[in-house]
Amino acid sequence: MSTPVLIVGSIALDSVETPFGKLDRAIGGAGTYSSFAAGLLAPVRLVGVIGDDFPAEALATLEARGVDLEGVKTIPGGKSFHWAGKYEYDMGSAQTLDTQLGVFGDFDPRLPASYRRTPYVFLANIQPQLQLSVLDQIESPRFTMCDTMNFWIQGARDDLLKVLSRVDMALLNDAEVRQLTGTPNLATAAQKVLDLGPKYVVVKKGEYGATLVSREGQFSLPCYPLPDVKDPTGAGDSFAGGFIGFLAWLDRTDDEAMRQALACGTVLASACVQDFSLSGLQKLDVDGLYRRYEDLQGMVDFCQLPARR
Amino acid sequence: MSTPVLIVGSIALDSVETPFGKLDRAIGGAGTYSSFAAGLLAPVRLVGVIGDDFPAEALATLEARGVDLEGVKTIPGGKSFHWAGKYEYDMGSAQTLDTQLGVFGDFDPRLPASYRRTPYVFLANIQPQLQLSVLDQIESPRFTMCDTMNFWIQGARDDLLKVLSRVDMALLNDAEVRQLTGTPNLATAAQKVLDLGPKYVVVKKGEYGATLVSREGQFSLPCYPLPDVKDPTGAGDSFAGGFIGFLAWLDRTDDEAMRQALACGTVLASACVQDFSLSGLQKLDVDGLYRRYEDLQGMVDFCQLPARR
């Protein structure tokens, strides 16, 4: 539990409404969720920006999890990134009600000197140009992965392609894989993402699980089935955090470790959606991770066919 | 390879157009696809109805596969069920262009005496009242499973509930599971289907694979990834045929066999979509089944976490 993870991403205040409740200006953001998830398994160094409206107890919650906040810049008089969204009955996707970038609009990630040699790096969903800036600042990383979104695929494609040519793994949802490659067939589309540079692509499919694809083949897991999904916000980021946190924990990036990391990401995402903000992740300890991981193994285990007659 | 399967369902002529080609009045129908898929592993007894416009060579193709046609009634002067549909670029779902029920509109499944004691029974997607009639005619089955569709969930709910209370397994897609139970959460919805009677429910998720759910837990597999999907027609029926064909082949219905059956169904569905009509299924032999089955095992295999420190 000593190899650290660097995470660069948004730190936000979210106002979320789902059929199961409502929270106003609770701690959120891709950088936050992924850091808090990774923090279960590895020390995290977080780079982001907040206004001085960001609650001190939220920062204390992150620090208590082992998240180093030297890289989090507070802008005096500034407003923290605020997102407001609502999920309907089926929880499939959020309807964004309001986005106020605040200080995040001028985010320019500057890595403290002590962060530059962090071995495991996750570039959460931010402007690809900023992801490139982070890649320029880090030295000899062992493993880098990036997230992105439809907005950048459409609007900052050239920069995004540069990012993809420089990271070890891309994390995309199924729609983004199709949009990026212009290819409806997911198997073909994932291979085309590999052509852009990364050794691995993880295709996130929401409630249908996730698939890790490399030149050598694929590895798929269902999502961890839960009757009590309260708030899907942060699921993908928690998945990412669990994934890279596990790699750092093991300090390995071979195929076997990648598969295990996908399972850990799946477990962290499942914990996230069981409650609002960071409350779901807070309820999962390492024992719980082990239990759900073993549950997942049982959910995909099947024996070989009888010998040919 | 001697325990037989009884299949009751539509035998049709399909006119299908996809971005990869077009076929006019080719052999199709749920009973046909599922019989042909099951026929790879077990002898099949098919019950259905056709007009005398149904091509003799299509019947010969089925017979050559080991499908007994004593239960297929030909109506002199009648027209076979004809479906015309088109798939757009993403192949997600078909747009129905035309449906002519023909003789299928008066289908009244009558089992030949020699069929009544068939141990494995698949009631493909037909009017629930007809599925009940078949259940009334069979004696001491070892395993029964049914398919259905949104149309019957909406329009023949009471009869469908009777069917579900009498079968061992229900085969539904994710939308149907939600519609039937009025429950968006799939994990909860699947449990509610079990409350209706069946010991197992298989939730088909198209390109996202399939999940077997029982009171004891769930088992999930991704779909078999293919770059060359030419025509999705019949995928679900081929899955069903591969599933029940495998159970008959092994003549077992324990949890281990059910998991293996799901894998075989997944493989047969993958073969189906690689070409039009029955051509895809025809290209898969038992060697190919073994290969894809082992591929699937490799796609979900991951090792346990390191011992707690």
Residues in chain A with CB shorter than 8 Å from the CB of B211 are: 222
Output the pLDDT for position B251. 97
Question: Is A20 an 8 Å CB contact of chain B?
Answer: no
Strands A67-75 and B200-204: what pairing? Answer: unpaired
Output the pLDDT for position A94. 86
Strands B72-75 and B21-28: what pairing? Answer: unpaired
Across B56-78, average pLDDT: 97
Question: Is A290 an 8 Å CB contact of chain B?
Answer: yes
Which A residues, 93 through 122, put their C-beta within 8 Å of a C-beta on chain B?
Answer: none
Q: CA-based angle A188:B20:A196, to the nearest 5? A: 20
Question: Is A186 an 8 Å CB contact of chain B?
Answer: yes
Structure tokens at B140: 């001491």
Q: Residues B245, B42: contact at Cβ < 8 Å?
A: yes
Contact state of B225 with A218 under an 8 Å Cβ cutoff: yes
Task: Please report which helix (H) or strand (E) contains residue A39, including its range.
Answer: none
pLDDT tens, per residue, chain A with 309 residues? 589 999 999 999 999 999 999 999 999 999 999 999 999 999 999 999 999 999 999 999 999 999 999 999 999 999 999 999 999 887 877 899 999 999 999 999 999 999 999 999 999 999 999 999 999 999 999 999 999 999 999 999 999 999 999 999 999 999 999 999 999 999 999 999 999 999 999 999 999 999 999 999 999 999 999 999 999 999 999 999 999 999 999 999 999 999 999 999 999 999 999 999 999 999 999 999 999 999 999 999 999 999 876
Strands A94-100 and A81-87: what pairing? Answer: antiparallel
Contact state of A259 with B219 under an 8 Å Cβ cutoff: no
Tally C-beta pairs within 8 A across A and B.
118
Across B33-43, average pLDDT: 98
Structure tokens at B77: 């002067």
Residue A126 gets which letter from DSSP?
S
Phi, psi of B70 (to 5 degrees): -60, -30
Closest CB from A227, A301, A309 relative to B185:
A227
Output the pLDDT for position B309. 62
Give the burial class of B44: count Cβ atoms within 10 A of its Cβ; 0-12 exposed, 13-18 middle, 19 or more buried: buried
> CA nearest A306 in B: which residue?
B250
> CA nearest A294 in B: which residue?
B304
Letter string b/e over residues A2-40, b meaning 16 or more CB atoms within 10 A of that residue's CB: ebbbbbbbbbbbbbbbbeeeebebbbbbbbbbbbbbbbb
Q: Where are the beta strands (DSSP E) in chain A?
A: 5-8, 12-18, 21-28, 44-51, 67-75, 81-87, 94-100, 120-123, 143-147, 169-173, 200-204, 210-214, 217-221
Distances (CA, A) of A79 to A68, A70, A104: 22, 19, 9
Distances (CA, A) of A97 to A17, A87, A176, B184: 10, 10, 22, 23
What tens digit of pLDDT does each residue of B236-257 get? 999 999 999 999 999 999 999 9
Question: Is A129 an 8 Å CB contact of chain B?
Answer: no
Is residue B308 predicted with pLDDT exceeding 80? no
What tens digit of pLDDT does each residue of B182-213 get? 999 999 999 999 999 999 999 999 999 999 99
Which A residues, 242 through 281, put their C-beta within 8 Å of a C-beta on chain B?
Answer: 250, 256, 259-260, 262-263
Question: Is A192 an 8 Å CB contact of chain B?
Answer: no
Structure tokens at B115: 């069929």
Residues 6+ apart with CB under 8 A from A113: none
The Cβ of residue A189 has, within 10 Å, a number of other Cβ atoms equal to 23
Output B288-291 pairs: Cβ under 8 A, ≥24 positions apart: B289/A305, B289/B40, B289/B264, B290/A305, B290/A308
Residues 6+ apart with CB under 8 A from B9: B29, B30, B31, B32, B34, B35, B46, B47, B48, B122, B123, B124, B125, B126, B237
Output the pLDDT for position A157. 98
CA distance B92 to B85: 13
Output the pLDDT for position B1. 54
Query: Alpha carbon A21 to chain centroid distance?
Result: 24
Alpha helix ranges (H) inside B103-251:
128-137, 150-155, 157-166, 174-181, 186-195, 235-250
Question: Is B88 an 8 Å CB contact of chain A?
Answer: no
What tens digit of pLDDT does each residue of A7-32 get? 999 999 999 999 999 999 999 999 99
Mean pLDDT, chain A, whole residue set: 96
Residues in chain B with CB shorter than 8 Å from the CB of A185 are: 91, 226-227, 229
Closest CB from A205, A208, A299 relative to B219:
A299
Question: Is B222 an 8 Å CB contact of chain A?
Answer: yes
Residue type for position B117? R
Is residue B141 predicted with pLDDT exceeding 90? yes
Question: Is B60 an 8 Å CB contact of chain A?
Answer: no
How many helices (H) and strands (E) in chain A?
11, 13
Output the pLDDT for position B93. 79
- Residue B263, classed as helix, strand or coil, is helix
Residues in chain A: 309
Residues in chain A with CB shorter than 8 Å from the CB of B89 are: 184
Mean pLDDT, chain B, whole residue set: 96
What tens digit of pLDDT does each residue of A79-109 get? 999 999 999 887 877 899 999 999 999 999 9
Across B293-307, average pLDDT: 95
Output the pLDDT for position B135. 98
Question: Is B301 an 8 Å CB contact of chain A?
Answer: yes
Best to test chain B binding among A300, A303, A309 (most B CBs inside 10 Å):
A300
Contact state of A256 with B303 under an 8 Å Cβ cutoff: yes
User: From its phi and psi, is residue A167 left (phi > 0), alpha (psi between -120 and 50) or beta?
Assistant: beta
Closest CB from A225, A227, A303 relative to B256:
A303
Question: Is A18 an 8 Å CB contact of chain B?
Answer: no
Output the pLDDT for position A90. 77
Which A residues, 225 through 244, put their C-beta within 8 Å of a C-beta on chain B?
Answer: 225-227, 229
The minimum CA-CA distance between A136 and chain B, rounded to whole Å, is 34
Structure tokens at A248: 């750092």
Give the burial class of A297: count Cβ atoms within 10 A of its Cβ; 0-12 exposed, 13-18 middle, 19 or more buried: middle
The minimum CA-CA distance between B68 and chain A, rounded to whole Å, is 23
**Cα torsion at B257, B258, B260, B264 (round to 10°)?**
130
Output the pLDDT for position A161. 98
> CA nearest B204 in A: which residue?
A208
Strands B81-87 and B44-51: what pairing? Answer: unpaired
The minimum CA-CA distance between A221 and chain B, rounded to whole Å, is 7
Residue A119 gets which letter from DSSP?
S
Q: Where are the beta strands (DSSP E) in A166-231?
A: 169-173, 200-204, 210-214, 217-221
CA distance A307 to A178: 40
Contact state of A220 with B219 under an 8 Å Cβ cutoff: no
Query: Alpha carbon B204 to chain centroid distance?
Result: 10
> CA nearest B258 in A: which residue?
A302
Structure tokens at B50: 């056709």
